[in-house]
């Protein structure tokens, strides 16, 4: 019972380790790593523990991607509001 399950190794092309949070990753880095995680899960062959670690990493990466997308949406909304406000002031 003292046996521990191995943790999947992250390949050299990935910029973070399983213990690192994806907070510092750019959108593209998080998306690319998420694609890799999904491919590894879909390929099968991992132990239950490995699959759980991959799943958790995938969830964290997906959340990071969503943060980037939400931030981009907010910036676009702000830019449109500023532009509309400027256009209305110019027309007054």
The pLDDT tens digits for 17-67 are 445 688 899 999 999 999 999 999 999 999 999 999 999 999 999 999 999
Say if 15 falls within a structural domain.
Answer: no
| CATH assignment of the domain containing 33 | 1.10.287
Count of domains in the chain? 1
Say if 4 falls within a structural domain.
Answer: no
On the question of pLDDT at 13 being above 60, the answer is no
Give the per-residue pLDDT at 20: 63
Say if 69 falls within a structural domain.
Answer: yes
Q: Which domain range does residue 74 map to?
A: 24-91
Say if 47 falls within a structural domain.
Answer: yes
Give the per-residue pLDDT at 88: 67
Give the per-residue pLDDT at 87: 66
Give the per-residue pLDDT at 82: 83
Give the per-residue pLDDT at 84: 73
Say if 65 falls within a structural domain.
Answer: yes
On the question of pLDDT at 73 being above 80, the answer is yes
For the range 4-8, what are the long-range contacts, defined as Cβ-Cβ under 8 Å and sequence gap of 24 or more?
A: 5/47, 5/48, 5/49, 5/50, 6/47, 6/49, 6/50, 7/49, 7/50, 7/53, 8/40, 8/46, 8/50, 8/53, 8/54
Say if 40 falls within a structural domain.
Answer: yes
Say if 54 falls within a structural domain.
Answer: yes
Say if 7 falls within a structural domain.
Answer: no
């Amino acid at each position: 019972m003292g046996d521990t399950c191995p943790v999947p190794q992250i390949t050299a092309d990935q910029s973070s380790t399983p213990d690192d949070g994806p907070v510092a990753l750019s959108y593209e880095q998080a998306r690319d790593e998420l694609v890799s995680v999904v491919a590894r899960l879909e390929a099968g062959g991992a132990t239950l523990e490995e699959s759980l670690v991959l799943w958790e990493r995938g969830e964290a990466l997906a959340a990071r991607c969503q943060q980037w997308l939400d931030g981009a949406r907010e910036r676009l909304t702000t830019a449109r509001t500023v532009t509309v406000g400027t256009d209305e002031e110019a027309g007054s």
